[in-house]
Structure 1
Amino acid sequence: MEQTESGKKGSKAFIQRVGSYLSGMVMPNIGAFIAWGIITALFIPDGYWPNADLASMVDPMLKFLLPLLIGYTGGSMVYGQRGAVVGAIATFGVIIGSEVPMFIGAMALGPFGGYCIKKFDDFFGDKIKAGFEMLVNNFSSGIIGFILAIGAYYGVGPFVTVLTGAMASGVAWIVNAGLLPLANIFIEPAKILFLNNAINHGILTPLGIEQAAETGKSILFLLEANPGPGLGLLLAYTFFGKGAAKSSAPGAALIQFVGGIHEIYFPYVLMKPLLFLAVIAGGVAGTFTNTIMGSGLVAAASPGSIIAVLAMAPKGGYLSVILGVIAGAVVSFLVAMIILKADKSHSESDDFEAKRQEAQAMKAESKGANTTATSTVASPDDVAKVKQATISKIIFACDAGMGSSAMGASILRKKVKDAGMDISVTNSSINNLKDEEGLLVITQEELTARAKQKTPHATQVSVENFLNSPKYEEIIENLKNNQSTVDETVTARPMDTGDAGEALDLARRSS
């Protein structure tokens, strides 16, 4: 029994890691997908402002730019800049060797190219004679890229063409058979298990791009991104919830619907598992409405905000898309209302906090993090480390480098500005973190271990929630105290000779 349970957990972890890796190649390039979608919506013959010259960009961007960006990103995730270059070369081979847009091929060849050059460097890195490093590095990248591009052209390209055609035919059959709404029976629970990015960007976006290239739009872009079911659930909590869940639901609804951060409603569902029925029903209703109305988007809507959804709607498609969102919200609201009104428990405050922490733990598991290990990294006095360090840059890091980390960075950036300090506050994905002196990295608790591996010399602070952590005020106070200590030390120890940089360096060391 234990082996069976262990096997299930291992399989789940593998699926989550693969899904996270696939979405990690697409999400950093969503801006390019959106740019392609806007050009398509505006300038194709059926667009808002038809323009044959500008529309000539649509096909090359779809066939070359977008797959190359994915391949480049995949190679970079494996082995930095060298991996990115070789991954892009290998991806170009599969692009030219196929007849369809090579998103699936790019997701395979990009990381494989990075892996190949990494293994070459691991084996030969310490065997290169001094003075020949640049020569070997450049030629090894070129030769390995050349071999992979040739292999991809003759072998991978035709195979992926057949595979992509089969998948597209399968999706078309499901749509034509009217079975697409049933997909939400699986999509909605999978989202709440933090597989939302993997589903949307790892699976639905590549397939949707294929469909949009042929028909000008795709309903697949609306399956996961529809903000209606989450909105309906949070509105039901606003009117019929109790305790902390009720009071926090209106703000959460605004963030979810307008900001597009769907993860914010997951704890509300976990608190009452029956509410899975509400979001499933809302998802099915929304997709059913989109199916009968012929709805679709020209490109992926990311994040899943109503603004992003409407921005990607094709000409004449606003009404059908809005009706799909409304249907999802109304059905989800009605089902959640029934469940909440039937609940007789006296308070939800404790349950909500417990389920919020459970959601964080589930998110950690979905990222492949070891929650036991991470709990030991974030010590209760981790904020105190800020007072002992010289901080010149603050980065909020999350798995994708978007969404919640961007919101956290915005909150702290304002506090830093109000405190009169000149410190950069930005956000990033953990995979893109660079170890450097004077860096403060702020992560959610479940991701601290990964951040520490990427930036061992940085100061680390863990928070439970990017949106309302009490640690932000402590960070500001410690930064101000740190700055005051440096200034006082410099003033108390004037230098008669020598430059000011040396004095400041001495003051920093003494602090």
Structure 2
Amino acid sequence: MLKGKGDLDMQNTISADKKVEAKPKKSVKARMQKFGSFLSGMVMPNIGAFIAWGLITAIFIPGGWFPNAGLAKLVTPMVTYLLPLMIGYTGGEIVDGHRGGVVGAIATMGVIVGTTIPMFIGAMVMGPLGGYLIKKWDDAVQPHIHQGFEMLVNNFAAGILGMILAILGFFIMGPVVSVASEAMGHAVNAIIAVHLLPLANVFIEPAKVLFLNNAINQGILTPLGIQAAAHAGKSILFLLEPDPGPGLGLLLAFSFFGKGTAKASAPSAIIIQFFGGIHEIYFPYVLMKPSLFLAVIAGGVTGTTTFSILGAGLKATPSPGSIISILLMSPKSITNYIALLLGVTLAAAASFIVASIILRRDKTPDIETDDLEAATAQMKQMKNGDVSEATQENIDNARNVVANYDNVNKIIFACDAGMGSSAMGASLLRDKVKKAGIDMSVTNTAINNLKDEPGLLVVTQDELAERAAQKAPNAMRISVDNFLSSPKYDSIVLNLKARDQMDPEPVKAQETSEQKKDQVKKVQMDLAGVKEITFLRDDDKVGTATMATSLMKDRVKKAGLNLDVKSLGIDKVEDSADNLVIVTPEAAKNLKIRYTNIKVFATKDLLNSPDYTGMLNTLK
């Protein structure tokens, strides 16, 4: 049998905002964020290896803190082979799991051997290409493999495809990427030579706030910076995005001249941003007043100008972008340390001055609408049966809100990289959930890794809400402007606690398990006019749905039926009355919510359901 990689996971809750359309359109911003996240997603999981290489370089090479000729031999093999191979493997794995990662790593080896420079950009091309091609091969071939030959075909397919890609990488892709990389390097050096590099921050700072920070740093600047550092010993490119100065100046301005919650939360945000390196913490402060883009741009340009004039640079990319990481990644040079500290200080000063002017001129009143206490009091009255002060309309509205949480059994915070701001938000809500006595998992992840799981509540930042809707369209979703201090956390806890304490509605209480079974049977028996059978699979991956499709094709053929049998991702299903979609009982309810015309056949065993015989007889 084929190895299953995943079944369909449908959600049992509707979005807190609205029902999601079958095929939501992606905005340009969402597409850019997705592409940027894909690039950074190849580097971020391996950032520890980059830091290890940077530390080994800074400590053990001649001129380092503790020179050691033996240990210095680690530097070249790591930057030439280890780091590109890890990127290539990760790129392939993102596309098609471990199998894609293996083919991606083999393909990457070809561009490594075919060039004389660190091949990071080549790895970011060949890794995903290898994963994509092996995925397409599996989609086309695996359903037709005879039983008993799966391992033979799969192993040789990966090996042969990897070999072909490695050869193509050696003769074609390696030289092409090498020329392109050298051209980009020369262009960057030319910009630095004429002192125009600071203008890059005019674009970098706004892009950071739009959550493209990881894409810019890990996806673009880090590969170019490592190539430069391998020759010059350091690179200013490692400082363009991680510089904590602009964010520090902005938060200081809010600490002095801000209003309300923004002013109160700014001091703690400074610690997280400057020393913890979580730059996402200051993004909401900019977004609430778009004119503050000018402040961070001023800080970024000032910092880069200072670094450029004083010749500052780092051995490797600092991650996270804290002042501590920046100092640790510095070469052993007093002048470089002075240049770094001066650049960060002046960047903070420029950002502070511009932000202070903007905030002091802002006459907008501070309005905070937090009805949490009133809602808490009302829920307490309902719990105690005291409805004398609460109208029936309010009770019904409260029930409707709490009903959205009926099936929630897991909370996931999603940010761009899944390491910084989401981890911080998850920690805060986890503590609130624990103190409320609620037994529930609260975790964090990168938004690219988000899955449409049953019982899922997704919390994300406002700027990433659209992408969260695309990744988990059936999940309940809540967006916040600031992971550090959002009143919605208390609302989540309140509604979860109310859900566990409120009495069920009379109508729901009268619904029996037999009625539910009858409803499923009615759905199953409505098979008139069916022309095609569809199994749903998760994110188009080959898995149980693909195996079920292959087996169903044999059954349909033996039954003498002329039906098209296929497996599709949920977004590719055609909402037609002649389409019979086979899913698990857990998925059937929400599938009918999302698609109104299809016919749904629910079964617990997608591969060998005993109900298939009766279904096929009904279709004859």
TM-score (norm 1): 0.78
Q: CA deviation at 1:421?
A: 7.2
Look up the equivalent residue of 1:146 and give its one-letter code.
M
**Distance change in 2, residues 1:135/1:21 (3 Å):** same
Q: Please, which of 305, 309, 324 is the counterpart of residue 326 of structure 2?
A: 309
Q: Matched residue of 1:21: which SS?
A: helix
Residue 166, structure 1, aligned to residue 175, structure 2: no
Q: Please, which of 321, 339, 344 is the counterpart of residue 340 of structure 2?
A: 321
Q: Please, which of 365, 369, 372 is the counterpart of residue 347 of structure 1?
A: 365
Look up the equivalent residue of 2:342 and give its one-letter code.
L
Residue 121, structure 1, aligned to residue 146, structure 2: no
Provide, for residues 135-179 of structure 1, a one-character-per-residue CA deviation record: whole Å limited to 9, x for no partner. 211111111111111111111111111111111111111112222
CA distance in 2, matches of 1:90, 1:272: 47
Provide, for residues 324-380 of structure 1, a one-character-per-residue CA deviation record: whole Å limited to 9, x for no partner. 100101121122223333x151524479xxxxxxxxxxxxxxxxxxxxxxxxxxx99
**Distance change in 2, residues 1:244/1:439 (3 Å):** closer
**Distance change in 2, residues 1:188/1:445 (3 Å):** closer
Q: What is the aligned partner in structure 1 of residue 234 from structure 2? A: 217
Q: Is residue 218–residue 296 contact of structure 1 (8 Å, CA) maintained in 2?
A: yes
Q: Matched residue of 1:428: which SS?
A: strand
Q: Is residue 227–residue 262 contact of structure 1 (8 Å, CA) maintained in 2?
A: yes
Q: Is residue 61–residue 67 contact of structure 2 (8 Å, CA) maintained in 1?
A: yes
Q: What is the aligned partner in structure 2 of residue 31 from structure 1? A: 48
Residue 93, structure 1, aligned to residue 110, structure 2: yes
More helix by share: 1
Q: Matched residue of 2:312: which SS?
A: coil
Look up the equivalent residue of 1:213 and give its one-letter code.
A
Q: Please, which of 111, 119, 122 is the counterpart of residue 128 of structure 2?
A: 111
Q: Matched residue of 1:396: which SS?
A: strand
Q: What is the aligned partner in structure 1 of residue 608 from structure 2? A: none
CA distance in 1, matches of 2:400, 2:88: 42
Alignment of 1:274-285 (within 5 A): 274-285=291-302
Q: Is residue 30–residue 467 contact of structure 2 (8 Å, CA) maintained in 1?
A: no
Greater relative CO (CA pairs within 8 A, separation 6+): 2
CA distance in 2, matches of 1:307, 1:337: 26
Q: Please, which of 199, 219, 223 is the counterpart of residue 202 of structure 1?
A: 219
Provide, for residues 231-288 of structure 1, a one-character-per-residue CA deviation record: whole Å limited to 9, x for no partner. 1122122222334433333233233222323233233334444433322221111111
Name the stretch that deviates more: 271-280 or 397-406.
271-280
CA distance in 2, matches of 1:158, 1:344: 55
Identical-residue share of aligned pairs (%)? 64
Q: CA deviation at 1:444?
A: 4.5
Look up the equivalent residue of 1:283 and give its one-letter code.
G
Residue 338, structure 1, aligned to residue 357, structure 2: yes
CA distance in 1, matches of 2:440, 2:244: 35
CA distance in 2, matches of 1:30, 1:49: 23
Q: Is residue 260–residue 303 contact of structure 1 (8 Å, CA) maintained in 2?
A: yes
**Distance change in 2, residues 1:452/1:336 (3 Å):** closer
Q: CA deviation at 1:210?
A: 0.7
Q: What is the aligned partner in structure 1 of residue 377 from structure 2? A: none
Alignment of 1:246-261 (within 5 A): 246-261=263-278
Q: What is the aligned partner in structure 1 of residue 541 from structure 2? A: none
Q: Is residue 383–residue 471 contact of structure 1 (8 Å, CA) maintained in 2?
A: no
CA distance in 1, matches of 2:402, 2:80: 48
**Distance change in 2, residues 1:466/1:333 (3 Å):** closer
Look up the equivalent residue of 1:297 and give its one-letter code.
L
Q: CA deviation at 1:221?
A: 0.8
TM-score (norm 2): 0.65
**Distance change in 2, residues 1:437/1:275 (3 Å):** closer
Q: Is residue 30–residue 466 contact of structure 2 (8 Å, CA) maintained in 1?
A: no
Provide, for residues 92-146 of structure 1, a one-character-per-residue CA deviation record: whole Å limited to 9, x for no partner. 1111111101111011111111110111011112111122222211111111111
Q: What is the aligned partner in structure 2 of residue 462 from structure 1? A: 478
CA distance in 2, matches of 1:483, 1:403: 31
Look up the equivalent residue of 2:98 and give its one-letter code.
Q
Q: Matched residue of 2:65: which SS?
A: coil
Q: Please, which of 42, 64, 84 is the counterpart of residue 67 of structure 1?
A: 84
Q: Aligned pair count? A: 446
**Distance change in 2, residues 1:42/1:110 (3 Å):** same
Name the stretch that deviates more: 184-193 or 286-295.
184-193
Q: CA deviation at 1:188?
A: 1.7
CA distance in 1, matches of 2:439, 2:56: 39
Q: Is residue 117–residue 141 contact of structure 1 (8 Å, CA) maintained in 2?
A: yes
CA distance in 2, matches of 1:251, 1:29: 29
Q: What is the aligned partner in structure 2 of residue 356 from structure 1? A: none
Provide, for residues 395-433 of structure 1, a one-character-per-residue CA deviation record: whole Å limited to 9, x for no partner. 433332111111122223434555677765432223335
* Superposed CA RMSD: 3.2
Q: CA deviation at 1:451?
A: 5.6
Q: What is the aligned partner in structure 1 of residue 561 from structure 2? A: none
Q: What is the aligned partner in structure 1 of residue 597 from structure 2? A: none
Larger radius of gyration: 2
CA distance in 1, matches of 2:456, 2:211: 29
Q: Matched residue of 2:413: which SS?
A: strand
Q: Matched residue of 2:444: which SS?
A: strand
**Distance change in 2, residues 1:339/1:418 (3 Å):** closer
CA distance in 1, matches of 2:201, 2:87: 27
Q: CA deviation at 1:290?
A: 0.9
Look up the equivalent residue of 2:354 and give its one-letter code.
V
Look up the equivalent residue of 2:478 and give its one-letter code.
S
Provide, for residues 445-481 of structure 1, a one-character-per-residue CA deviation record: whole Å limited to 9, x for no partner. 6656766776789x74534243334454566577779
Q: What is the aligned partner in structure 1 of residue 247 from structure 2? A: 230
**Distance change in 2, residues 1:426/1:247 (3 Å):** closer
**Distance change in 2, residues 1:135/1:449 (3 Å):** farther
